[in-house]
């Protein structure tokens, strides 16, 4: 058993001879050290480049988000305008329906409509204009001395005399049981 231990030890002992090839594990270790050295040399430059790339990406993302928000706002405002127009159209229809029903009810009750009142007002204005024109065209009338123009005598009015309680007939009182 000692022979096997010695042979195992001889295989794992490091040799300091430069002409012997290095094992693969040591290659990996040395490559890692080299990468670490390069990262330290270029680390600050790489971090600055990554930060700048991150800022550029953030600005681009924010600009894109602002654009999308603007587009969504425009769509919603357009939809709201259309909805408002539809709602106002429906309110107008409802208002006209209500006005028509009230007008019919008033007509059934015998109330004149606005058109009837306007026609009557126009007709009265026409008649007043004709009457005024006839009065202006007529010669001045002489003072009335005929029988038709006699002054009327004042009419005597009867005044009621207040009744005293004694003069009033007595009311029969109801009998109490």
Q: pLDDT tens digits for 108-142?
A: 888 888 888 999 999 999 999 999 999 988 877 55
Q: If you search the block for the tokens 């939809």, which residue do you land on? A: 79
- On whether residue 140 sits in a domain, the answer given is no
- Report, as an integer, the average pLDDT of 57-84: 88
Tokens linked to 132:
């005024």
Is pLDDT of 31 > 60? yes
- On whether residue 172 sits in a domain, the answer given is no
- On whether residue 109 sits in a domain, the answer given is yes
74 neighbors 68 (Cβ within 8 angstroms): no
- On whether residue 103 sits in a domain, the answer given is yes
Backbone angles phi, psi at 6, to 5 degrees: -65, -40
Range of the domain at 70: 27-135
Query: What is the rounded distance in angstroms from the CA atom of residue 125 to the CA atom of residue 132?
Result: 11
Of 98, 101, 121, 97, nearest to 109 by C-alpha is: 101
pTM score over 0.75? no
- On whether residue 9 sits in a domain, the answer given is no
Q: What is the pLDDT of residue 120?
A: 94
- On whether residue 46 sits in a domain, the answer given is yes
- On whether residue 92 sits in a domain, the answer given is yes
If pLDDT is split at 50, 70 and 90, which confidence band does 67 have?
A: very high
Number of domains within the chain: 1
- On whether residue 143 sits in a domain, the answer given is no
Tokens linked to 112:
């004149």
Query: What is the rounded distance in angstroms from the CA atom of residue 118 to the CA atom of residue 164?
Result: 57
Query: What is the rounded distance in angstroms from the CA atom of residue 97 to the CA atom of residue 135?
Result: 48
């Amino acid at each position: 058993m000692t022979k096997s231990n010695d042979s195992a030890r001889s295989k794992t002992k490091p040799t300091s001879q430069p002409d012997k090839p290095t094992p693969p594990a040591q290659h990996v270790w040395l490559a890692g050290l080299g990468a670490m050295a390069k990262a330290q040399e270029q680390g600050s430059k790489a971090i600055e480049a990554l930060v700048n790339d991150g800022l550029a990406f953030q600005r681009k993302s924010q600009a894109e988000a602002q654009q999308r928000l603007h587009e969504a706002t425009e769509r919603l405002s357009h939809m709201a305008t259309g909805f408002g127009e539809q709602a106002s159209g429906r309110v107008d229809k409802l208002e006209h329906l209500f006005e028509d029903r009230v007008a019919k009810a008033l007509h059934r009750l015998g109330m004149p409509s606005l058109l009837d009142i306007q026609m009557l007002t126009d007709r009265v204005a026409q008649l007043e204009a004709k009457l005024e024109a006839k009065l202006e065209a007529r010669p001045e009338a002489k003072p009335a001395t005929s029988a038709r123009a006699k002054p009327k005598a004042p009419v005597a009015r009867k005044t009621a005399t207040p009744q005293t309680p004694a003069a009033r007939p007595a009311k029969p009182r109801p009998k109490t049981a």
